[in-house]
Amino acid sequence: MSDKREHARPGRGTDSLALLRGDCGSCFGLCCVALPFSASADFAADKEAGRPCGNLRADFGCGIHDRLGQSGYRGCVAYDCFGAGQKVSQLTFAGRDWRAEPRGAARMFQVFPVMWRLHELLWYLTQALTYPQAASVHGEIRLALEGVERLTEQGPEVLAELDTEERRREVAPLLARASELVRAGAGRRGKDRRGADLIGASLRGADLRGADLRGAYLIGADLRGADLRLADLIGADLRGADLGGADLTGAVFLTQSQVDAARGDGATRLPAPLGRPAHWSSGAEGAASPASRSRGRSRRR
């Protein structure tokens, strides 16, 4: 476990998004303790918030990390804290772990979900700054980004009481405007599928260029060969969706965790800086199936 007392601020370009990815080696296994989960297609057992997962090792590593999917923990495969885990562990609590100092454990577990939501906002705002089409709102986005960054640097007492939904409401119009400017490049008015229930839908080969799919439920959907160029996928639930041969070039606000939750193949085209998940080449399933409809839905935006 490295002791990183300083946490770099996210920058302003694509490369800086790497700073907003989870670094488990610098975290005290916070997602494995602070967050609850329910037995479902994504998780093999129930776990309440604040109780360590039975697979968490003494060194804060996962005992089944190399076989999470096969062990019934596909939800963990697709999870990303956006760098919140190492921020709380190494900056907010200055490298003091909850096992060594159990009196501070409850506060640490309370702060982690708050930091996670703030870091998610940082990821979207940083991503928005990489879209040249949205240059007219970059100034406002930078100001919002700096404001959220300052919040992440507050002490645990302040963070524990922070209303992240208020911050989300403040940021949402900026992200929506950036999305509109980017999607205008599709040269057509994309379909409005915001929050649509498309669970298990047959969308093979569908023309969804520039579509608004914010918060759409695409669990287990057949999107093979679909054209999703410049589509807005912020908050869309892609668990178990088949993206084989789909083109997601320039997809707006698509995250690595969404990609990891889906299925794809060598012909699937992804936007930078997202990587192709290892389980795609193995033919393994994504993080969920239509049967898990009532479990762990993505937050709508």
Q: Domain check: are 60 and 178 in the same one? A: yes
pLDDT of amino acid 299: 37
Q: How many independent structural domains does the chain possess?
A: 2
pLDDT of amino acid 56: 96
Which of 127, 156, 183 represents a domain boundary (last residue)? Answer: 183
242 φ/ψ angles, rounded to the nearest 5 degrees: -95, 110
Structural domain range at position 49 = 14-183
Tokens 């759409």 belong to residue: 216
Residue 201: give its domain's CATH number.
Answer: 2.160.20.80
- Cβ neighbors of 71 (< 8 A, separation 6 or more) are 44, 55, 64
Indicate whether 301 belongs to any domain.
Answer: no
Q: Domain check: are 205 and 172 in the same one? A: no
pLDDT of amino acid 273: 84
Q: What percent of the chain has pLDDT over 70?
A: 88
Indicate whether 6 belongs to any domain.
Answer: no
Indicate whether 300 belongs to any domain.
Answer: no
Structure tokens at 41: 């297609």
Q: Domain check: are 161 and 205 in the same one? A: no
Q: Domain check: are 56 and 167 in the same one? A: yes
Indicate whether 175 belongs to any domain.
Answer: yes
Which of 183, 199, 228 represents a domain boundary (last residue)? Answer: 183
pLDDT of amino acid 296: 36
Residues 243-278 as b or e (16 or more Cβ within 10 Å = b): bbbbbbebbbbbbbbbbbbbbbeeebbbbeebeebe
227 φ/ψ angles, rounded to the nearest 5 degrees: -100, 105
pTM attached to this predicted model: 0.87
In the chain, the N- to C-terminal Cα span, in Å, equals 35
Which of 150, 183, 216 represents a domain boundary (last residue)? Answer: 183
Residuewise pLDDT in 10s, the chain (301 residues): 333 334 445 555 555 777 898 999 999 999 999 999 999 988 999 999 999 999 999 999 999 988 988 899 988 988 999 999 999 999 999 999 999 999 999 999 999 999 999 999 999 999 999 999 999 999 999 999 999 999 999 999 999 999 999 999 999 999 999 999 999 998 888 889 999 999 999 999 999 999 999 999 999 999 999 999 999 999 999 999 999 999 999 999 999 999 999 999 999 999 988 999 988 875 555 554 333 333 333 333 4
Q: Domain check: are 26 and 122 in the same one? A: yes
Q: Domain check: are 76 and 162 in the same one? A: yes
Indicate whether 44 belongs to any domain.
Answer: yes
pLDDT of amino acid 69: 84
Q: Domain check: are 73 and 146 in the same one? A: yes
- Rounded Cα distance between 182 and 98, Å, is 43
Q: Domain check: are 122 and 211 in the same one? A: no
Indicate whether 2 belongs to any domain.
Answer: no
pLDDT of amino acid 233: 98
Q: What is the pLDDT of residues 78-130, one digit of tens each?
A: 899 999 999 999 999 999 999 999 999 999 999 999 999 999 999 999 999 99
Q: Domain check: are 179 and 193 in the same one? A: no
Length of the chain: 301
Indicate whether 95 belongs to any domain.
Answer: yes
Q: Domain check: are 171 and 208 in the same one? A: no
pLDDT of amino acid 250: 96
Indicate whether 236 belongs to any domain.
Answer: yes
Question: In sequence order, what DSSP letters do the residues of 61-77 get, joined into one string?
Answer: -BTTGGGTTTTT-HHHH
